Amino acid sequence: MTATNFLIGTLFDLYLMVIILRLWLQLARADFYNPFSQFVVKATQPVVGPLRRVIPSIGALDTATLVFAILVVILKVVTLTAIFGNGFPPIVPLLIASLGMFIGQVLSLVFWILIVRAILSWVSQGNNPMELVMHQLTEPFLAPIRRVLPAMGGLDLSVLVAILAIQFIRLLLGDIFGPFI
């Protein structure tokens, strides 16, 4: 049962990360003609497209994509509880667990994008289209940190500070939501 739980949870989490990436790309106003961005759009468009006709955006926030992400988290929780014979969970704990899982997944995605950006900065020559998107996604987090940190002689510690802050927030939210984050 643990292997089944891992496989189903991982599949839901990977698709949820793609959905969150779409939302994040829109909020960061990243280049949607980039091949990485095109993959994210094509992977989510079959559901987000029809949802946009029903759910309008609120300013820069694409609420249809946000609703779709939360529905995927709820579906994950319901699927895992149904497979393990626990029946349908009560609505309020289901919504609380889903909210905690969604926030945890967002923080996890930001963490991994920061790691990928750091690794790409070591090995890439700057011509990689994926590196451009990673820069567009993470720069809103890193620029304020760089303004506060003193100059370290060419060494950029803003990624490390951001990762530490994300891990702190995850632990703090873990105290609130328990095992759901």
pTM: 0.87
CA 34, 60, 99, 84 torsion-angle sign: negative
What per-residue confidence (pLDDT) applies to 105? 92
Report the amino acid identity of residue 91.
I
Long-range contacts of 140-145 (CB under 8 A, 24+ apart): 140/28, 141/110, 141/114
Tens digit of each residue's pLDDT (9 = 90 or more) over 16-44? 999 999 999 998 888 888 888 999 999 99
**Model confidence over 126-153: pLDDT tens digits?**
777 888 888 889 999 899 998 898 877 7
SS3 state of residue 61: strand
Q: 19 CB contacts (<8 Å, ≥6 apart)?
A: 44, 48, 65, 68, 69, 72
58: three-class secondary structure by DSSP = strand
Domain ranges of the chain: 2-180
Q: How far from 83 is each of 10, 99, 159, 170, CA to CA, in Å? A: 15, 21, 39, 28
| Range picked from 5-9, 155-159, 164-168 for highest mean pLDDT | 164-168
What mean pLDDT is reported for the chain? 87
Measuring CA to CA, how many Å separate 38 from each of 15, 53, 121?
Answer: 15, 21, 22
In this predicted structure, the answer to whether residue 178 has a pLDDT above a threshold of 90 is no
